Structure 1
Amino acid sequence: MWRRIIYHPEVNYALRQTLVLCLPVAIGWLFGNLQQGLLFSLVPACCNIAGLDTPHKRFFKRLIVGGTLFATSSFLIQWLTQHAIPLPAILLAMPLLLGVTGEISPLHARLLPASLIAAIFTLSLIGRMPIWAPPLLYIGGTIWYGFFNWFWFSLWKEQPMRETLSLLYRELADYCDAKYTLLTRLTDPEKALPPLLARQQKAVDLINMCYQQMHMLAANRNNSHKRLTRAFQVALDLQEHISVSLHQPEEVQKLVEQSHAEAVIRWNANLISARLRELADDILYHRLPDRFTMEKPLQALEKISRQHPDNPVGNFCYYHFSRIARVLRTQRPLYPRDLMADRQRRLPLLPALRSYLSIKSAALRTAARFAVMLGIGSTLALSFNIPKPYWILMTIMFVSQNGYSATRVRIQHRALGTFAGLVIAAATLRFEVPETITLSIMLAITLISYLFTRKFYGWSMVGFTVTAVYSLQLLSLNGAQFLLPRLMDTLMGCLIAFAGMIWLWPQWQSGLLRQNAHDALGAYQDALRQLLGDEQAPEKLAWQRVRANQAHNALFNSLNQAMQEPGFNDRYLADMKLWVTHSQFIVEHINAMTILAREHTMLTPTLAERYLQSCEIALQRCQQRLEYDGPGSDTNILEAPENPQEGPITIMERHVKRILSHLSVMHTISSLAWSQRPHHGQWLVRRLRKPE
């Protein structure tokens, strides 16, 4: 029982965050300096946003960089304010100065908002402390935060990777359930495929997260991570076999009508999904798995495949289920992979600075967006005679996310949570509660809020607002005066952040659909070149398969976000949704062909070269239709040559032919979708990308 409590992801996270915040408060209270303890406990908020609690092979180096940036930002805003530099000017310059961190790596990019929050929080301390005190506070708080997390992760080694792997196994179980529950309902792709696409998207997202964690920890070179590395390779095998599809609904229906195949297939699928959920718990709670076998279900499926040799469905299911069963029984991957350790993009400072100074830099746009929003927020605050508008500026920073949809949801949750928290605080401040009981209640509220914050941000904001009010009450005894002004500040900050995400260099996902679709086709082309080429190294095939899945996943994520954005053509998005569905079919065929290539089920060199030429021509037709603004005939593309192959068609040929048919449909959809495109912004550019 204790394992389920202490190793549960939300409980473990809540305990860690609560202890790192509340221990300084407890120490300050014991030594009679509660105010200093409360101030010291606020520093971990910056460290959380900066991702300094992320396990990393450069953990202490990142702590030094993060603490230095926090202290520098704190000193600069005080020093510049003392020299009568206007606050809007300071907040316009500081994000642009720190924005270069976004070019170094995605993880370094989190230092920008964290450093800005450190500077903004320092505004509330100006005049209450000497100029050197806040920087020392940030340095000491970062050291405490780093030491505590190092100690915590030394007690619970590998726990972050275990949590991600456990989620991945659970998602694969749900995907297997959804796929074979809908076995006889796949005749209508518009209704049956969306839930499968969503499951596949979540699984690939978790695979990407596992890759990132392995890169950050250099897990391939760490003996303590060998068991988890093997579990990850097993998960890649499982995803490879679960995600392939036959895509012959008429054959499925025929086999179901002629036999009891549906019950047998679901029997196998249910056993597999149940075993995957057991393994997810075993990984998370540090348990050794029990023995596993599914001989009887496989024998029943094999019998059906022998009784109906002309129907490919039985043999298809038996082939993939038997390999899934072998992986689950042995707990070893079907073959070793090169997990591409330590290939995360990370630029040195000077090349990152050169890239940052380009007008096309996404990091520069993000920094400029923060600069303008903070400048507007501070200007409005000064016009309303608010000398220290830290709450408005902090709200802007907390609710601003990468995309429109995420920012809108965060704004709604934060505004409603803040309002509810202020109402609760206003009602409870009337009671005269002893300091000891107040601190105990704040401790309980903090723990409960962190239990919900990753899944239910709005509910956690209720608790965090209550603790913020009581912290101010303990610091300066003005909690009641804080209520209405802070609510107005929150609403003002949310409005500024929302306007900034809409009008300040937004990266609308619907505008990125063409580029992501073009990139996905390029990834498919690279995968087919390896599958149908001369060299079929298993390691290279496995990595290229993952890249094709990741490229399609980026496209699918863009489509999902684009369909929630305002002001775009719904007919165009509906056409692109169909395009993405056919793209998913191609990914599943590439997954199946990777399995066949690894087991040396290949084509003759001449036939493989002919099919590869046809696929490349079809892919280039689709790419050029996406790339050029004009009639299809203007692009002068050769048609794919006919294949005069006679005789029985092999499994590999069947997959290639279906890929060609999907590409033909995608080319037609591209031509139709182009007429429905939006007619503004970057859509007015005739070419998708400039020629090299």
Structure 2
Amino acid sequence: MWRRLIYHPEVNYALRQTLVLCLPVAVGLILGQLQHGLLFSLVPACCNIAGLDTPHKRFFKRLIIGGSLFAGCSLIVQLLLADDIPLPFILTGLAMVLGVTAEISALHGRLLPASLIAAIFTLSLAGNMPIWEPLLIYALGTLWYGLFNWFWFWLWREQPLRESLSLLYRQLAEYCEAKYSLLTQHTDPNTALPPLLNRQQKVVDLISQCYQQMHMLAANQHNDYKRLLRAFQMGLDLQEHISVSLHQPEEVQKLVERSHAEAVIRWNAQTVAARLRVMADDILYHRFPTRFNMDKQIGALEKIARQHPDNPVGQFCAWHFSRIAKVLRAQRPLYPRNLMADKERRLPLFPALKSYLSLKSPALRNAARLSVMLSIASLMGAALHLPKPYWILMTVLLVTQNGYGATRVRIFHRAAGTLAGLVIAAVTLHYHFPEGFALTAMLVITLISYLIIRKSYGWATVGFTITAVYTLQLLTLNGEQFIVARFADTIIGCLIAFGGMLWLWPQWQSGLLRKNAHSALEADQEAIQLILSDDPSAEKLAYQRMRVNQAHNALFNSLNQAMQEPGFNTHYLEDMKLWVTHSQFIVEHINAMTTLAREHDTLSPELMQRYLESCEVALQRCQQRLEYDESGSSGDVNIMESPDTLSHGPLSTMEQHLQRILGHLNTMHTISSVAWRQRPRHGIWLNRHIN
């Protein structure tokens, strides 16, 4: 029981965040300096936004950089305000200078909003204490936050990676169960594929997250991570075999009609899913795995394959489920990989600065957008006669996300949660509870809010709003007077953030669909070239296969976000949705061909060359159709060899996959011919060439 409590991701996270916030308050209360303890506990909010609690091989270096930026921003704000420099100019300058951090790496990019939050906190402190005191609070607060988190991660050294791996295995279980539970419904891609694509997207996202964590932790250099590295390689093997597909719905229907194959395949899938969920718990709660075999299930599949040798579905399922069973039984990956092959490279400062100064830089656009929104918020505060509009400014930063859809959802949750929290705080302040009771209630509310923040941001905002109002009450003894004003500030901040994401240099995902589709085709081409090479390396195959999955995942994410964006051509998006569906089929075929190439199930050199040429021509046609707007259809010039003329006699499994890839590419070429003509006729869509 205690393992499930202490190792549970939500509980572990909530305990860590609550303790790092509340221990300074407790020490301040004991020493009779409660107000300083409350101010000291504000610094972890900046550290959280900056990601300084992320386990990293350069943990203390990032901590020093973060603390220096917080203290530096605080000093600059105080000095410039003392010289009567307008607040919009101060915040604009800080945002544009710190925006370069996003060019160094995504993790460094989180220092921009965190440093701006530190500058905004300073607004409420400037003039109320000596100039050096906020700097000392930020420096000591960051040091306390870093030491506490370092000690916490030392106690649970492997826990962050364990949590990610456990989530990966759970998503693999759900994906496997969903994919094989209703085979007869897979004849209609419009109804069957969207939920499967969502699950596949989550799996690939978690694999990418595990890659990043292992790189940041230098996990391959520590013996403590050996078991987890092995579990991750097993996860890659499982994803490879679960996500493959023959995409022959008519053959599936024939096999289901002639035998009880559907029940047997579902039995295998449910057995695999149940085992994956057990393994997810074993990884998370530090348990050794028990013995496992599924010989009966595999035997039933092999029997169906022998009874129906003319149907490829039975043999296909039997082979892939047998490989999955081998991984689960042996508790070892099918082959070792170099997991650090695709590690992220950080840009040094000067090359990052050069890239940042380009008008095409997303980091520059994001910094400029933030600077304008903060300037508008400052001017709005001045119009409302607010000398320090810190609540409006913080709301803008807290609700602004990377995309339009995410920002809209965050705004709704923030506004609703703040309203509910302010109402509750107003009612409770009316009763004037004792200080000790209020502090105890704040501790409990903080713990509960962090327990639910990952899944219910709106409800967590209710708790954080209550604690924020009570913090103001304990600091100034007039928190009740801020209730209505703070809600008005929240609404103003949400409106500014929404307008900024809608009108200030928006990065519409529907406009990026073409670029991401082009990148996905490039990754497919490189994978096919590698698979059809003379002697493909297993490590290179694994790396390129994951690149294909991640490129398609970026395309699928863009499509999902584009479907939520306002005012665009729905016909264009519907056609691109169909295009992405066929792209997913190609990804599944590449997953299957990767396993075959690794097992040296290849074609003759002449046949490989012919298939490679046909695939390259088909891929280039699709890329050109995405790039140009000339008239023409897929059948105007016969530049792609017909699949029927590529081979004579029975087709091998590799040839079946290649011919289906050619069929999907031909369909995608036709779809893009229609979709590109239906694109919007303004902005980024007017560019003929892909940048």
Give me the TM-score of the superposition, normalised by structure 1: 0.98
Give the Å deviation of 1:641. 2.9
CA distance in 2, matches of 1:342, 1:555: 20
Q: Write the deviation string for residues 574-624 of structure 1: whole angstroms up to 9, x where unpaired.
A: 000000000000000000000000000000111101100000000000001
Q: Which amino acid letter does the alignment assign opposite residue 167 of structure 2? A: L
Q: Does 1:269 align with 2:269?
A: yes
Q: Which amino acid letter does the alignment assign opposite residue 506 of structure 1? A: P
Is the Cα contact below 8 Å between 1:105 and 1:347 reproduced in 2?
yes
Measured at CA, do residues 14 and 341 of structure 1 come closer, stay the same or move farther in structure 2, by a change above 3 Å? Answer: farther
Is the Cα contact below 8 Å between 1:201 and 1:553 reproduced in 2?
yes
CA distance in 2, matches of 1:265, 1:214: 35
Is the Cα contact below 8 Å between 1:628 and 1:688 reproduced in 2?
no
Identify which of 650, 669, 672 aligns with 1:670.
Answer: 672
Query: Greater CA deviation, 630-639 or 525-534?
Result: 630-639
* Alignment correspondent of 1:198: 198
CA distance in 1, matches of 2:494, 2:547: 37
Q: Does 1:167 align with 2:167?
A: yes
Give the Å deviation of 1:83. 0.6
CA distance in 1, matches of 2:400, 2:65: 23
Where does 1:525-604 land on structure 2 (aligned, <5 Å)? Answer: 525-604=525-604
* Alignment correspondent of 1:305: 305
Q: Write the deviation string for residues 113-156 of structure 1: whole angstroms up to 9, x where unpaired.
A: 00000000100001111111111110000000000000000001
Identify which of 658, 661, 664 aligns with 2:663.
Answer: 661
Give the Å deviation of 1:674. 1.3
* Alignment correspondent of 2:609: 609
Q: Which amino acid letter does the alignment assign opposite residue 275 of structure 2? A: R
Give the Å deviation of 1:346. 0.7
Measured at CA, do residues 271 and 634 of structure 1 come closer, stay the same or move farther in structure 2, by a change above 3 Å? Answer: closer
Query: Greater CA deviation, 303-312 or 480-489?
Result: 303-312
Q: Does 1:142 align with 2:161?
A: no
Q: Write the deviation string for residues 227-285 of structure 1: whole angstroms up to 9, x where unpaired.
A: 11100000000000000012111211111121111111111111100000000000000
CA distance in 1, matches of 2:378, 2:341: 44
Query: Greater CA deviation, 217-226 or 342-351?
Result: 342-351
Measured at CA, do residues 644 and 152 of structure 1 come closer, stay the same or move farther in structure 2, by a change above 3 Å? Answer: closer
* Alignment correspondent of 1:231: 231
Give the Å deviation of 1:638. 7.1
Where does 1:55-66 land on structure 2 (aligned, <5 Å)? Answer: 55-66=55-66
CA distance in 2, matches of 1:341, 1:192: 35
* Alignment correspondent of 2:494: 494
- Secondary structure at the aligned position of 1:603 is classed as coil
- Secondary structure at the aligned position of 2:412 is classed as helix
CA distance in 1, matches of 2:188, 2:360: 43
Query: Greater CA deviation, 598-607 or 645-654?
Result: 645-654
- Secondary structure at the aligned position of 2:639 is classed as coil
* Alignment correspondent of 1:651: 653
CA distance in 1, matches of 2:673, 2:575: 10
Q: Does 1:279 align with 2:279?
A: yes
Is the Cα contact below 8 Å between 1:216 and 1:342 reproduced in 2?
no
* Alignment correspondent of 1:386: 386
- Secondary structure at the aligned position of 1:388 is classed as coil
* Alignment correspondent of 1:34: 34
Give the Å deviation of 1:534. 2.0
* Alignment correspondent of 1:129: 129
CA distance in 2, matches of 1:425, 1:546: 50
* Structure 1 stretches lacking a partner, 5+ long: none
Give the Å deviation of 1:634. 13
Q: Which amino acid letter does the alignment assign opposite residue 676 of structure 1? A: Q
Q: Does 1:243 align with 2:266?
A: no
* Alignment correspondent of 1:24: 24
Measured at CA, do residues 357 and 644 of structure 1 come closer, stay the same or move farther in structure 2, by a change above 3 Å? Answer: closer
* Alignment correspondent of 1:4: 4
Measured at CA, do residues 217 and 199 of structure 1 come closer, stay the same or move farther in structure 2, by a change above 3 Å? Answer: same
Measured at CA, do residues 644 and 101 of structure 1 come closer, stay the same or move farther in structure 2, by a change above 3 Å? Answer: closer
Query: Greater CA deviation, 271-280 or 677-686?
Result: 677-686
Identical residues among aligned pairs (%): 71
Query: Greater CA deviation, 212-221 or 483-492?
Result: 212-221
Where does 1:427-438 land on structure 2 (aligned, <5 Å)? Answer: 427-438=427-438
Q: Does 1:362 align with 2:362?
A: yes
- Secondary structure at the aligned position of 2:313 is classed as helix
Q: Which amino acid letter does the alignment assign opposite residue 377 of structure 2? A: G
Over aligned residues, Cα RMSD in angstroms? Answer: 1.3
Identify which of 680, 683, 688 aligns with 2:685.
Answer: 683
Q: Does 1:474 align with 2:459?
A: no
- Secondary structure at the aligned position of 1:124 is classed as helix
Is the Cα contact below 8 Å between 1:417 and 1:459 reproduced in 2?
yes
CA distance in 2, matches of 1:317, 1:593: 14
* Alignment correspondent of 1:181: 181
CA distance in 2, matches of 1:58, 1:423: 43
CA distance in 1, matches of 2:178, 2:165: 20
Q: Which amino acid letter does the alignment assign opposite residue 445 of structure 2? A: I
Q: Write the deviation string for residues 53-108 of structure 1: whole angstroms up to 9, x where unpaired.
A: 00000000000000000000000000000011111111111100111111111100
Give me the TM-score of the superposition, normalised by structure 2: 0.98
Q: Which amino acid letter does the alignment assign opposite residue 256 of structure 1? A: V
CA distance in 2, matches of 1:636, 1:198: 36
Q: Which amino acid letter does the alignment assign opposite residue 295 of structure 1? A: D
Give the Å deviation of 1:686. 2.0
CA distance in 2, matches of 1:617, 1:251: 29
CA distance in 2, matches of 1:142, 1:607: 63
Q: Does 1:99 align with 2:134?
A: no
Measured at CA, do residues 402 and 437 of structure 1 come closer, stay the same or move farther in structure 2, by a change above 3 Å? Answer: same
Give the Å deviation of 1:635. 14
Give the Å deviation of 1:432. 2.2
CA distance in 2, matches of 1:644, 1:145: 64
Is the Cα contact below 8 Å between 1:177 and 1:273 reproduced in 2?
yes
* Alignment correspondent of 1:154: 154
* Alignment correspondent of 1:415: 415
- Secondary structure at the aligned position of 1:463 is classed as helix
Give the Å deviation of 1:321. 0.6
Measured at CA, do residues 378 and 47 of structure 1 come closer, stay the same or move farther in structure 2, by a change above 3 Å? Answer: same
Q: Write the deviation string for residues 336-394 of structure 1: whole angstroms up to 9, x where unpaired.
A: 11112572131111111111111111111111011100011101111211100000000
Give the Å deviation of 1:290. 0.5
Q: Which amino acid letter does the alignment assign opposite residue 518 of structure 2? A: H
Give the Å deviation of 1:532. 0.6
CA distance in 1, matches of 2:360, 2:345: 18
* Structure 2 stretches lacking a partner, 5+ long: none
* Alignment correspondent of 2:336: 336
CA distance in 1, matches of 2:638, 2:516: 24
Q: Which amino acid letter does the alignment assign opposite residue 608 of structure 1? A: M
Measured at CA, do residues 117 and 331 of structure 1 come closer, stay the same or move farther in structure 2, by a change above 3 Å? Answer: same
Q: Which amino acid letter does the alignment assign opposite residue 666 of structure 2? A: S
User: What is the number of residues matched between the two proteins?
Assistant: 689
Give the Å deviation of 1:632. 4.0
Give the Å deviation of 1:637. 8.0
Measured at CA, do residues 433 and 675 of structure 1 come closer, stay the same or move farther in structure 2, by a change above 3 Å? Answer: same
CA distance in 1, matches of 2:555, 2:47: 32
Q: Which amino acid letter does the alignment assign opposite residue 169 of structure 1? A: Y
CA distance in 2, matches of 1:629, 1:390: 50
